[in-house]
Amino acid sequence: MGVLTFSSKKSVVPAPDRQSSREVGVEWRAALWMLRHPGITASTTAIAAGTIELGPTTMAGIAGGTAVGVCAWYRGHPNSYDRLIAPRLRSFGRRWSAYAGRHWADVCMAVDLAPTKRRTGVTQIPRVLRVLSYSPSIDTVMVRMAPGQSVKVWEDKAEIIADALGAIRVAVERIRPQVVGLVIERSEPFTEILDAPVMPADSSTVDLSAVYLGEDEYGADWSESLIGQHWLIAGATGAGKASLIWAPLRSIAPLIRDGLVRVWMVDPKRMELARGRDVAYQYASEPDEIVRLIDDFVEDCRATQRRHAADSKAKFAMSRQTPFNLLVLDEIAALLSFGKNNREIRKALEEIGTQGRATGHSILGEVQEPSKDVLPIRDLFTVRVCLRVTSAAHPDMVLGDGARLRGAAADEIPNDPSTAGIGFKIRTSRVPVRVRAAYVDDAEIAQLVRYVTTGFGFRVIQNDKFDDLDNDDDGPTGSIRVVG
Ligand SMILES: Nc1ncnc2c1ncn2[C@@H]1O[C@H](COP(=O)(O)OP(=O)(O)OP(=O)(O)O)[C@@H](O)[C@H]1O
């Protein structure tokens, strides 16, 4: 049996907790950097190898050809370029211009987020792991925090980080242990109020699959389809939700006037919709009236289903006999808190949500607080917009998980009238896009009401009937129109 012996000599190997005061050598750090940036390492190696193998002239030709190809794509197919190429190039450019090297180190030191190692005296700069620039105005930067830092420390410094980066505002989000996400809003694309949509003259010029609502951050028209879609608009009080009721109604005004679209209005707050209730086919504001209206809407949807079955029709086709029906709900949360009727209303909305696509029945619902009551039916809404909200949890509740981290920091929009109508919607591939709704004021709502109620309906009418409308660029044009 062996016997354990102990030597009294001092070991030359330092105890595991005793660390060297020297830093890792520069060549090892360079190797680590290359491993962490495989894309740059591989392309630099490929360019160097190509230049040696093929010669500088051939390599310059390949580089020139690639540049011409990218330019041709940029000019020839803006949609796919903006979706596939622009975010990648932008992310790469921002990564190495704004969030790297001396500049990034200076920012971290200026905001006191770069602690110094006591042992070596070396400053620890929080490492940028990834930069994503989905949109021209917002960057998302993933940062590995320095040892000992917490997300709270970064949150508390959000304002000075924004100042140091020259950004408008910064939102901070925890990604995983030790990694924090900074959503950096670099510029505000919307500095002006957008005019209310001009009401088209004629039903034939209105496209329900592209209803104009405002503009997106790229300066393009922001339109959404109503056909087969249900819209959810979330925003705190004063965020500008009303614009997203009146702007689409103005955009489709001739269809309402001509009986091709019926608007059913539910106004539990008795505020917003009352101003334009005369454009409604049905309007309700008292709890029992609201329940009846929603029942009627569901019944109308079922009746259309039965007619479709009888006629062996699978798809909805809009006509005066089978109009498109839009249920406008101001404040869904108020409806879902109607005591004993809560369950019935929820069931009715679920039925419309799932069946309405085929019958031409859609919902436009607004909500101030995307609370737990609203969440279960959130997925029924295929178009979702998040205007200014009051909690960092709300953008994800409305737009889907991870939306805030991808840039939809709607809780960071200041509570200021100059930002009303600004919010986010989700584009394809879960990327948020900043949008602004066109603003419709009281006079323009009154004008919509006059346009619809004094309009043609199913009559032969002369154009001078509209002379009293105070906006020359709306109103119908031809001399005599026969409708119905
Ligand atoms: N699209 C917009 N562009 C610019 N300003 C707007 C826009 N929409 C609204 N506003 C301004 O913001 C104010 C509040 O808007 P609005 O009444 O639509 O808010 P809201 O979200 O409906 O609030 P609430 O839930 O309290 O009814 C308006 O009186 C107007 O001054």
Give the model confidence (pLDDT) of 363-412 as tens digits.
Answer: 999 999 887 767 678 888 999 999 999 999 999 999 988 888 888 989 98
Residue 464 has pLDDT above 50, yes or no: no
Q: Would you place residue 211 in the very low, low, confident or very high pLDDT band (cuts 50, 70, 90)?
A: very high
Is residue 65 in contact with ligand 1, taking CB distance under 6 Å? no
What was the pLDDT predicted at 407? Answer: 82
What was the pLDDT predicted at 470? Answer: 37
Q: Would you place residue 336 in the very low, low, confident or very high pLDDT band (cuts 50, 70, 90)?
A: confident
Distance 411 CA to ligand 1 centre (A): 16
Domains of the chain with bracketed CATH: 72-188 (3.30.980), 203-482 (3.40.50.300)
Is residue 235 in contact with ligand 1, taking CB distance under 6 Å? yes
The annotation status of 239 as a binding-site residue, yes or no, is yes
What was the pLDDT predicted at 480? Answer: 29
Probe residue for ligand 1, chosen from 188, 192, 215, 243 as the CB with the greatest number of ligand atoms within 8 Å = 243
pLDDT digits (tens, 9 = 90+) for 271-282: 789 888 999 999
Q: Would you place residue 469 in the very low, low, confident or very high pLDDT band (cuts 50, 70, 90)?
A: very low
What was the pLDDT predicted at 463? Answer: 35
Is residue 200 in contact with ligand 1, taking CB distance under 6 Å? no
Q: Would you place residue 33 in the very low, low, confident or very high pLDDT band (cuts 50, 70, 90)?
A: confident
Atom of ligand 1 nearest to the CA of 247: 1
Q: Would you place residue 36 in the very low, low, confident or very high pLDDT band (cuts 50, 70, 90)?
A: confident
What was the pLDDT predicted at 472? Answer: 38
What was the pLDDT predicted at 369? Answer: 84
Is residue 237 in contact with ligand 1, taking CB distance under 6 Å? yes
Q: Would you place residue 14 in the very low, low, confident or very high pLDDT band (cuts 50, 70, 90)?
A: low
What was the pLDDT predicted at 481? Answer: 32
What was the pLDDT predicted at 333? Answer: 82
Q: How far apart are CA 175 and CA 144, in angstroms?
A: 10
What was the pLDDT predicted at 34? Answer: 87
Is residue 444 in contact with ligand 1, taking CB distance under 6 Å? no
What was the pLDDT predicted at 483? Answer: 34
Q: Are 97 and 104 in contact (CB under 8 A)?
A: no
The annotation status of 116 as a binding-site residue, yes or no, is no
Distance 126 CA to ligand 1 centre (A): 41
Q: What is the rounded average pLDDT for all residues in the chain?
A: 84
Q: ipTM score of the complex?
A: 0.96
Probe residue for ligand 1, chosen from 272, 273, 394 as the CB with the greatest number of ligand atoms within 8 Å = 272
Ligand 1, atom 9: closest residue by C-alpha: 240
Q: Would you place residue 339 in the very low, low, confident or very high pLDDT band (cuts 50, 70, 90)?
A: low
The annotation status of 238 as a binding-site residue, yes or no, is yes
Three-state secondary structure string covering the chain:
CCCCCCCCCCCCCCCCCCCCCCCCCHHHHHHHHHHHCHHHHHHHHHHHHHHHHHCHHHHHHHHHHHHHHHHHHHHHCHHHHHHHHHHHHHHHHHHHHCCCHHHHHHHHHHCCCCCECCCCCCECCCEEEEEEEEECCEEEEEEECCCCCCHHHHHHCHHHHHHHHCCCEEEEEEEECCEEEEEEECCCCCCCCCCCCCCCCCHHHCCCCCEEEEEECCCCEEEECCCCCCEEEECCCCCCCCHHHHHHHHHCHHHHHCCCEEEEEECCCCCCHHHHHHHCCEEECCHHHHHHHHHHHHHHHHHHHHHHHHCCCCCCCCCCCCCEEEEEECCHHHHCCCHHHHHHHHHHHHHHHHHHHHHCEEEEEEECCCCCCCHHHHCCCCEEEEECCCCCCHHHHHHCCCCCCCCCCHHHCCCCHHHCCEEEEECHHHCEEEEEECCCCHHHHHHHHHHHHCCCCCCEEEHHHHCCCCCCCCCCCCCEEECC
What was the pLDDT predicted at 423? Answer: 96
**CA distance readout (Å), 221 to 208, 212, 249, 359:** 15, 7, 16, 28
Sequence-distant (≥ 6) Cβ neighbours of residue 25 within 8 angstroms: none
Probe residue for ligand 1, chosen from 385, 439, 441, 444 as the CB with the greatest number of ligand atoms within 8 Å = 439
Ligand 1, atom 31: closest residue by C-alpha: 417
Most confident of 251-260, 425-434, 452-461: 251-260
Residue 203 has pLDDT above 80, yes or no: yes
pLDDT digits (tens, 9 = 90+) for 61-101: 999 999 999 999 989 888 888 878 888 899 999 989 889 88
Is residue 246 in contact with ligand 1, taking CB distance under 6 Å? no
What was the pLDDT predicted at 429? Answer: 63
The annotation status of 236 as a binding-site residue, yes or no, is yes
pLDDT digits (tens, 9 = 90+) for 283-323: 998 888 998 999 999 999 999 989 888 877 777 888 888 89
Distance 404 CA to ligand 1 centre (A): 23
Can you give the pTM of this predicted structure? 0.75
Residue 132 has pLDDT above 70, yes or no: yes
Between 475 and 444, the higher pLDDT residue: 444
Residue 225 has pLDDT above 80, yes or no: yes
What was the pLDDT predicted at 457? Answer: 42
